[in-house]
Structures are given as C-alpha cells and as structure tokens.
Amino acid sequence: MPSSEREIHWPARRARARQIAIVEQSAREVVVGAVGDLPPGATRKFLLPAAGEPVEAFVVNVDGTLRAWVNRCRHVPLTMDWVENRFLDDRGFIVCATHGARYRPDTGECVGGPPIGRRLIGVPLRVEDGRVLATVPDEL
Ligand code: FES
C-alpha cells in the first residue's frame, strides 16, 4: 500500500462505537495526508464521513495551495475523474469525464461546459500537526 493511502484515516465500522466519544469533535473530519505530500498539480481522492454514506472528494495542489472539492459534477451529480484519481487537463483545469465541463481548480467555478458559472462544492481544509484535515461541507 502506498504511504499516501496509509495516512488516510478512516475509522473501521467495528471501532466506530468505541471511537464516538473520542472523535466526536472530529466526526466530520478526515485526515487526507501529510503537509507536503502532494506536489503542485497533483490530485488525491479521499472519502468524507458524510451522514448516511461516505462521499468522495479530492484534494488538488494549485501552485502550492491545497484546495479540496467534492467529486461531483454540477451538471449531473456524477464523479468527474476521467481516469481513476486524475482530474486535471494539460492546462490545469478540473475536467468532468462525462461531458467535458471545465472547472477552475482554485475556485471550483465552471468556466466551460453545461454547468458554466456553477461551482463545485468546496471542502474546508485545515492543517494540524503536519496533517491536512478535511471537513464535511455544510452543503452535504
Ligand atoms: S456530468 Fe459533468 S459535464 Fe455533464
């Protein structure tokens, strides 16, 4: 297993009941990796612990700044990676594999394709002890 996958924290179901009291404050957060793990232009998928069932999201390094988005196109709510875990075209836009919508990786705004003008659902990130944590957005 690559080291990047080992760092993704996802509590096992059997341990959930035991962990609720301990992680209640962070029940809507997940560790997506270590700071510095993701080089500029790279993307990495992770699962958000949303109510009901986990929701796929991804983090992208945009010129040294990490941004994260729910992996759900704003045209039709489908995942967007055109090859597993690949989101960016050669100009650095996030591209939806289904109908080719293009989104800015820094703002999530659609700049081409059917959902033009709409924005991806942003995932708040924060850094703690060298780890990058993602929070389930209120919109989910
Ligand atoms: S589903 Fe993404 S552009 Fe249509």
Q: Quick one: which atom of ligand 1 is closest to the CA of 97?
A: 2
In whole angstroms, what is the distance from residue 12 CA to residue 35 CA? 24
Q: Nearest residue CA, atom 1 of ligand 1?
A: 76
Paired tokens of 1: 């297993």
pLDDT tens, residue order, the chain (140 aa)? 343 333 333 333 333 333 333 333 468 899 999 998 899 989 999 999 988 889 999 999 999 999 999 999 999 999 999 899 999 999 999 999 999 999 999 999 999 999 999 999 999 999 999 999 999 999 98
The residues facing 67 across adjacent strands are 60
Test site for ligand 1: of 71, 75, 81, 94, most ligand atoms within 8 A of the Cβ:
75
pTM above 0.75, yes or no: yes
In whole angstroms, what is the distance from residue 51 CA to residue 139 CA? 11
Kindly state if the Cβ of 98 falls inside 6 Å of ligand 1.
yes
Per-residue DSSP letter, 89:
-
Q: Quick one: which atom of ligand 1 is closest to the CA of 73?
A: 2
Q: What is the pLDDT of residue 121?
A: 98
In whole angstroms, what is the distance from residue 21 CA to residue 19 CA? 6
In angstroms, the Cα distances linking 117 to 75, 103, 137 are 11, 9, 20
Domains of the chain (ranges; CATH) run 3-135 (2.102.10.10)
Distance 99 CA to ligand 1 centre (A): 4
Q: Nearest residue CA, atom 4 of ligand 1?
A: 99
